[in-house]
Amino acid sequence: MNPIWVDRDGALAGLGAVAELEAGTGPDRYQTALEALRSSGSEKAFASFTFDVDEPGSVILAPEETRLGPIPDDAGVTGHVRIVDDGVDAWTKGFRKAMVAVHAGEVQKVVLARQVEVELPPGFATGALVSRLAWANPECFVFSVGGLVGASPELLVSVMEGRVRSLALAGTATTPEELESVKISEEHRHVSTSVTGILSRHMTGIDVTRQVIVQHGAMSHVGTRIEGPAKSGTTVADILADLHPTAAVAGVPTSSALDLISELEPASRRRYAGPVGWLDSSGDGVFAIALRCGQVSGDRMTLFAGGGLVDGSEEAAELHETELKLAPMLAALGHPAS
């Protein structure tokens, strides 16, 4: 399936032949992708970067043409997926070790992801999954880039016509009382402070900083909207290099959290929790964080769901949060228990 990106403006689809561009690894990969796009002759590219900047596997797709149109019809997904590995055992072991590190002061926050492997039904069509996700999650950014498909509620960064926007999310609950807890306030503070500080280096000023509640299915998230004019010449590639990974998908301090994630998670995240979106040859673009998503590989799909662990996190509540975050993808896949 050619790449597609769906937001409130409609569906941006890649049409015709698609060239795969090379981004490489390291913090320069975003600029490399932009330069490759400018050399390709295409106007726009869809991009999905690996979570770990030093891991190969980022996908940059430059179609012959892009077209903004209506959201595709909800074609449905025939058949049911079968869960092969629910990921609970690996996640539980990781949680307990992570909390030891938190209590020892090695990290203030670490984001631990659960990985669930499912078997896809015969005749599975990615396009049908995109349609289901788009219609069921109108507030999200829906994407399909190189087999990574999902519906993310979190805008990492947008640079459009000289203006920078971001929505930093951290802190998930199912009731208003839970959203006001000390644990969630602490989790969100780490993220909003970090993102605001980084973005300010690329802006002449911040004229919007507003805390909001973002609803996604049965979950509510604490978010901070940040907006303002970009410094002259700033591209989305410049900001991505500074901004990712945020505390929302890694932790605090970042380097220690990344080491812990590598140690505790059962396999590489690949492109889960990496930047996903599109950019054009002028340097404008829109990127979400690749959350609530899965990676297709043959007749299997690996689903991901993570959560921030801080002092006060409880195992049962955090595991339940991963269930809630997996629910939109499982529902779109037609899982009978969803």
Label residue 120 exposed, middle or buried (CB < 10 Å: 0-12, 13-18, 19+): buried
pLDDT digits (tens, 9 = 90+) for 136-147: 999 999 999 999
State how far the Cα of 323 lies from the Cα of 101, in Å rounded to an integer. Answer: 24
State how far the Cα of 174 lies from the Cα of 115, in Å rounded to an integer. Answer: 22
Domains of the chain: 4-332 (3.60.120.10)
Between 180 and 252, name the one with better pLDDT: 252
State how far the Cα of 105 lies from the Cα of 201, in Å rounded to an integer. Answer: 29
- Torsional sign, CA 257, 259, 260, 261: positive
State how far the Cα of 149 lies from the Cα of 277, in Å rounded to an integer. Answer: 12
pLDDT of 179 higher than 80: no
Q: What is the share, in percent, of the chain residues with pLDDT greater than 70? A: 98
Across 66-78, average pLDDT:
78
Alpha carbon distances (Å) from 89 to 64, 82, 249: 45, 18, 21
Question: 210 pairs with which residues across the strands?
Answer: 225
User: Residue 183's pLDDT is what?
Assistant: 75
State how far the Cα of 122 lies from the Cα of 338, in Å rounded to an integer. Answer: 20
User: Residue 45's pLDDT is what?
Assistant: 98
pLDDT of 331 higher than 70: yes
Residue 76 confidence class, pLDDT cut points 50, 70, 90? low
Across 228-236, average pLDDT:
98
Across 235-254, average pLDDT:
94
pLDDT digits (tens, 9 = 90+) for 58-68: 999 999 999 99
Contact (Cβ atoms closer than 8 angstroms) between residue 88 and residue 117: no
- Torsional sign, CA 173, 246, 332, 45: positive
Q: What is the pTM of this model?
A: 0.95
Residue 338 confidence class, pLDDT cut points 50, 70, 90? very low
Q: Which residue has 């970009």 as its token pair?
A: 230
- Mean confidence (pLDDT) of the chain: 93
